[in-house]
Amino acid sequence: MQAATALNKDMSDDLIRHSVCSDDINVLTQIYEQDVNIAIWQRQLSTAVITDVENLLQTTSSLNKSAFIHAKTINEDIREALTLQSVGDAFIDYTAELVDIFCTLFELDEVGFRLRILDAPMCPRFHVDQVPCRLVTTFAGKGTQWLEHDKVNRNKLGHGSKGLEDGVSGLYAQRTDIKSMGTGDVALLKGETWMGNDLAGVVHRSPAYKAKQNRLLLTLDFLN
């Protein structure tokens, strides 16, 4: 299915969205299905990538790097963006692979790339993203948390939460409703601006921070 066609398909307002998870990379293509708002490729990081990640965290205390990565020069652009960091070849090649997957899946010539070391929750409250779709993966630390579409009371999002972050606000029924991605999982999160997905973007948040356990988080975004 062509990206332009899929993004412009009308989606029924009463359609219930759900998640799909698999250790097969092809699960990511299911993000184009009308009733899917999060697709998770359950992937294990290689020993070489884990070693590079550990070395990066040991040598870098602060990192918040954003860049534009072009589909034709992915590896070179990532190396240039991270030139001041101690990043190994295995990590570069792995992130380049993810960018290539994202560009290919959505027929993009360029993507927004952001790599961060987090020592506190970036987005601790449940929320939706005002984007068509975002790739999220955690290389170290806990993975992103999300709620299934049919478990969410959307009236309790944003101002409706009255400053509360958990079930006390009535956003969801039970703590067991909260699902978590694993370290290394690669997820596509469908947002509110995916055509026809109003009020159906996946509801998610950063995990609670654990002392002395920084997260290394990569996100990829559409540029328009």
**3-class DSSP state of 36:** strand
In which element (H, E) is residue 100 found? helix 89-106
**Count of residues for the chain?**
224
Does residue 212 have a pLDDT over 50?
yes
Q: Specify the pTM.
A: 0.87
What pLDDT, on a 0 to 100 scale, did the predictor assign at position 36?
96
**Rounded to an integer, what distance in angstroms lies between the CA atom of residue 214 and that of residue 8?**
39
**Rounded to an integer, what distance in angstroms lies between the CA atom of residue 146 and that of residue 206?**
9
Closest listed residue to residue 87, CA positions, set 109, 113, 54: 54
Residue 167 pLDDT class (50, 70, 90 cuts): very low
What pLDDT, on a 0 to 100 scale, did the predictor assign at position 175?
81
More confident residue, 124 or 68: 68
Average the pLDDT over 85-109 and give the result.
Answer: 96
Residues 6+ apart with CB under 8 A from 70: 77, 109, 110
Does residue 164 have a pLDDT over 70?
no
Does residue 5 have a pLDDT over 50?
no
Average pLDDT, the chain: 86
What pLDDT, on a 0 to 100 scale, did the predictor assign at position 24?
98
Cα 53–chain centre separation: 18
Q: Answer for the pair 204, 179: CB distance below 8 angstroms, yes or no.
A: no
Q: Answer for the pair 219, 136: CB distance below 8 angstroms, yes or no.
A: yes
Domains of the chain plus CATH, in order, are 38-221 (2.60.120)
**Rounded to an integer, what distance in angstroms lies between the CA atom of residue 185 and that of residue 137?**
6
> Is 147 buried (19+), middle (13-18) or exposed (0-12) by CB count in 10 A?
buried
Percent of the chain surpassing pLDDT 90: 66
